[in-house]
Structures are given as structure tokens and as C-alpha cells.
Amino acid sequence: MPTTIIEERPRAFAEQQIDTVTLDIIENALRNARIEMDATLVRTAMSPGIREQGDAFPLIADPSGKMIVGQFGSFIGGFLQGWDGTIEDGDMIFLSDPYSCEGAISHSNDWLVLLPVYRDGRLIAWTAMFGHQSDIGGKVAGSMPIDARSIFEEGVRIPPVKIWKKGEYNEDLIKLVMHQTRKPDWCAADLNALIASCRVAARRIHEMCERFGDDVYVSATRQLLARNHRAMKALIGMAIGEEPISFEDYICDDGVGFGPYRIKCTMWREGEKVILDFTGTDPQSQASINFFLNENMFKMFFGIYMIMVFDPAILFNDGFYDLIDVRIPEGSLLKPRYPAALSGRTHALGRIFDILGGLLGQKTPEFLNAAGFSSSPHLMYSGTDKAGKWFQLFQIGFGGIPGRPLGDGPDGHSLWPGFTNVPNEFLERYFPLRIERYEALADTGGAGLHRGGNGIIMSYRFLETGTVSIHDDRWFVPPWGVNGGAPGERARKILEKPDGTQTIVANKLDRLDVEENDVLHFITWGGGGWGDALERAPELVAKEIRQGLVTVEGAIRYGVIIAGDGSVDEAATEALRTKMRAERPAELPLFDYGPDIETLRRNSLSETGLPAPRQPVWHATALAAE
């Protein structure tokens, strides 16, 4: 059935001429409404993932569902494609099933609320918010089982339903959903926070319409979309060539012993349209690392990257989507067939940004970023304490951000710019653990003229017996450097027992039993370096040694020798740099990936303490059969 949007007075909005001042006022009012959505959310949510880290994404869209302001691109188009009911004033939509909305949300932990905003019987806008729920049931605490073979193992799936219908709350539906989760108190509070955020934005839209008029408001949103279209058209013409260029990167493993998995993208321009083709990406995994990549979501990723690199002053919205054609092979890692498991899609999601950087920078190396937006490390810790009370932690960690054209990558920073860390004081107050170390780990960032950001080491001492899950990547395939910069160091995880015995554990695992006073050293990857490390100022290297970001031994990578008093030994440094330049190729590589895959396989156990992942043979067999 086609989607039906019921309007009592289906009168078209009259196009209005809008002066620059009015357009700027409406634009900034919409920006502020988006910020107010975030503020409402974090002040009313309960889970640390949303309340402390901000793992939620707001949206204000025009009547057709195109995002005007937001962060992740519009999920409304994907929802409308799968919706077969009516949408009326007083309704609110609730959903979490990726397969019901064309991947507009990409795993079932993300709960999405959509609010159509009506005025005088006409649909004038949409507001929406989705946030990651710390638990939605399923086979493991946290609802992100690494070894899941289908989405049915990953917790409750909510198809698009009306949580409010003509102003009436569907209380029985919410009781049913909350009955599936291990943390109904968190989920109920977080859902109410999502609803409140949407209603706040709706109120601000009504206020703008009352001030300027409905027709002026809608005309302003159209002009904002058109302005973005013009800007992106110019950027695409400037930065994207007609000759196809390709780039590929790898997810290290699937958590059940197989990998690495290739993601490949080829880009070229036809007229004013850019083509992004993922042919060559590996087939879907039997485990949960699949990423159901919505085409519009990827268009937004592409647009944000273009804007932030070339012209950050542009307000990004959905106005440019017709300038981009995204092609994703059916049955691939990025478009798996139902009912493939999806809960571990974070690694592919992060790797998409590294691939975008590698694609867009080849024509203009001066704008090229190294690798390091590579994943979003997760830790889950749960159990029953001595008082018989259930505890459950979901936390997102941070790796090293890549070296960039304008400077060093930040140390231990988030993949998403709006995310923050969970304060250690919060963790120690509400969970049975103690944080014994939380710092940037020296020398993990790739050496370069601009250093890659260091990864972090976070040491958790567990005060109760419990179970741990870890989701991370970049432990096998290192984050590459660019323009002569070196790769960053790889991630690793170490479990230390009270007697001092240490064991290297996998970067993707479930059901790791920990006992009281066990310590988990959670070490994330470093970002790749940018530019020639021998051009980095020796005084800056010496300063970073004093700051604990580089070691005396690590300074050798920059050709820097430190004297006994901590100063730069200028003569020895000059001699070392001369020797290093003579021993390397005259032309430094645009990309430094480190060792090739086969070399990584041979050396994995000695270098990482973990066996190399096995080649996923069944994928080649399945592909040949097709």
C-alpha cells in the first residue's frame, strides 16, 4: 500500500520571497532548536550511553522528510518507504527494526521516534530523534551478540508503530517492549527523553510559524535546501574528477574467527553527479558485523565530509541528495539480506569514514586525512552484585583521531564530534568497578609531520564477579598514514588477574567471565600520521616527551635524539635525520598501509598475541554460486 498522509486542508504552501535577515533568523532558530533537542535528551535520559556520552541523533525535516538540521541525515525517507498506514495530527511513530526502514537506523538497539508536526490540518514539518538503548533483550547483556547468526538473536525488534495515535498514548505497546529488556528503567526513561526532544522541537517550529507565518517558514526551509544544493554542486565539480578512483580498507575480523573483510568504493563524476559504487565489497558475514548502509545516510556522510574539509561554514542538510548516486551490491557486507545479524555494525560504520578520506584525498592530497575514524570501541560489564542487585554497563571508548592537513589528530577522541566520555567519577559511583588508569598511550599515534592521535589505555578493576563483552577493531589491520606519515599502532586488550598473570584477549568477544579484582587493560588504536615525520620540529617532539605523548625511544621515529637533560641533541638529530633520509625512497608513498595482509597473517601471533583471522571461504563459494 502507498503511504497516506492525511491532511484536513490539503492546501499547498505558497512560495514566499524571503529576505536574507529573515532567512538567517529562521536558520539559526532551527540550529538552536536542534541544540535544545540534545539538551532535553541528556537531561532526561538515564542510560550512560545517552545521558553521558550523547549517543543520540536529532533531526528537524521539511514536510517531505528532508533534513533541514540534524547530524545523521534523514531517516524519514526510509521509514516512509516501508510504512503502509496513515499519518495524522496527534500521531507519533516508534520503530527500531532496520529491515523495516531500508536501514535508516542500522541496528535494533537504536530506537527512533518520529513526530509529524501539523498546523491547521497541514503537515508542516517532522521532528525525530533516535538513541542507542543499552539493552533490548537478546542472548547477551547489551543485546549486541558477536556470534549472532540472525537479527532474531539481538533482542526486541520494533516495526513502525504508532506510540501515539491521534493524541492517545499506546501504553500496552510500551509495556510489551519494556518487558523484553534487562534495563526497563533506563529504556523507559530514554524513550520518554526521545519523545520530549521531538516535542520541544515541534514547539519551536510552531513559534517560528506564529512569528513569520506558515508559508514563510516552509519557503525558508526550501531555500535552505536549495542553498545547500548549490554549494555542494560547486564542491563536487571542484573536488571530484570524471576518472574513476578506488579505495579499499578492511574490517579486521567478524569475532568468530574469520576476516579480514574488504570494503571497497569507487568514485567518479558524471556531469554534475558523483557516483559512489561499492562493487568489490565482500559478501555479508554470517556473524553480526554487517552494516545495512542506507543510501541516504551515506549521502549525508559524504556531504558532511566534503563540507567539513572544503567549507565548514555550509549548513549541511538533505538538499544535495540528487547530486549523488550510491550503489551498494545486494548481499554484501553493506547491504546484507534479511535476516542477517546487524548489532556489530559499528566497525563498518567507522571504516566508511576512513574510506571517504582515502577517496576524496587522492585528487587533492593536501586535504587528505589519515586513517583513524575506524570504529567505536564498546565495553559491556554486567552481573549480580553481593546485595543481589543487577548491574549493567554499556560504555563507548575512543581511539586516536588521524593526523590531518591542519595539525595533529586529537588523542583519545570520539569518532562522532558530539560524543563525550563517561566521567570516571560517574562510572565508579554507579558501577562496581574502579578506573585505575585513563590516559593517552604514548607512541600509539602514527609518526608524521602531523602526528596521529594516540589511543588510550583505560584500566578497569572489577569489584564484582561479572561478565564482559568487548567490541573493537583495528587490532589486525593498522590505521594507515598518508603523505609520508606512518600507520598508527593497533588496538589490544589485556586481562590481568590478581596474581599479576596477564592474558591477551580478543577485541571482539562475549561472555568473558571476570572475578573480583581482575583488571582489564582496554587499549585502543592510534591514528595514522600525516606527512614526513622527519619534518616535524624537534622541539615539539621534546615537548611531547615531557607531556607523556611520545617516549624517548619513540622520538627515534622522528629522527630526534634527546640528550640526558631532556633537550634536543641537535647534532645527533641532524646526523640521524640525514641517515634516515638516505636509507628511504626519495618519494614517500601517498598511503602507508604497513605490512600487506599475508605478512600480517604470518606475524599476527607474535605481534598481537592473537592468531590471525581465517579467510572466510564460504563467502567466495556463495559468490561463485550466484
Q: What is the pLDDT of residue 617?
A: 65
Are 476 and 374 in contact by the 8 Å Cβ rule? The answer is no
**ω before 159 within 30° of 0 (cis)?**
no
Give the pLDDT mean for 61-87: 86
User: Which residues have a Cβ under 8 Å from the Cβ of 24 and sit 6 or more positions away?
Assistant: none
- 179 burial via Cβ count (<10 Å: 0-12, 13-18, 19+): exposed
Asked whether the beta carbons of 30 and 211 are under 8 A apart, the reply is no
Q: What is the mean pLDDT of residues 22-34?
A: 96
Q: How confident is the model at residue 3 (pLDDT cuts 50, 70, 90)?
A: low
Average confidence (pLDDT) over 51-73: 89
Distance, in Å, from the CA atom of 500 to the CA atom of 182, rounded to the nearest integer, reads: 34
Over residues 481-501, the mean pLDDT reads 97
For residues 482 and 435, what is the distance between their CA atoms, to the nearest angstrom?
35
Check whether 315 has a pLDDT greater than 80. Answer: no
pLDDT of residue 1 exceeding 50, the answer is no
The answer to whether the beta carbons of residues 122 and 10 sit under 8 Å apart is yes
More confident residue, 238 or 143: 143
For position 625, what pLDDT does the model report?
46
pLDDT of res. 101: 87
pLDDT of residue 2: 46
Rounded Cα–Cα distance for residues 300 and 71 (Å):
9
pLDDT at 415: 64
Among 64-78, 366-380, 537-551, 561-575, the range scoring the smallest mean pLDDT is 64-78
Q: Tell me the pLDDT tens digit for each residue of 354-404.
A: 999 899 888 888 889 999 887 889 999 999 999 999 999 999 999 999 999
Q: Which of 26-35, 371-380, 504-513, 615-624 has the lowest mean pLDDT?
A: 615-624
pLDDT score for 626: 43
Share of the chain above pLDDT 90, in %: 81
In 3D, which of 157, 131, 154, 158 has the Cα closest to residue 141? 154
- Please report, for residues 1, 6, 92, 168, the alpha-carbon distance to residue 88 in angstroms, rounded to integers and kept in the order given: 17, 6, 9, 12
Cell of 466: 561479572
Assess whether pLDDT exceeds 60 at residue 623.
no
For the chain, give the percent of residues with pLDDT over 70: 96
Angle at 296 between CA 96 and CA 375, to 5 degrees: 70
Does the structure show a pLDDT above 60 at 619?
A: no
- Give mean pLDDT, residues 492-517: 97
> Reduced to 3 DSSP states, what percent helix, strand and coil does the chain have, rounded to the nearest 5?
35, 25, 45
H or E segment and range at residue 295:
helix 295-310
Predicted confidence (pLDDT) at residue 427 exceeds the cutoff of 70: yes
Q: Would the pTM of this model clear 0.75, i.e. be above it? A: yes
358 within 8 A of 247, measured Cβ to Cβ = yes
Largest Cα span, the chain: 82
Residue matched to cell numbers 587499549? 523
| 383: Cα separation from own chain's centroid | 28
Which residues, listed in sequence order, are joined to residue 614 by a DSSP beta bridge? 258
Mean pLDDT of the chain, nearest integer: 93
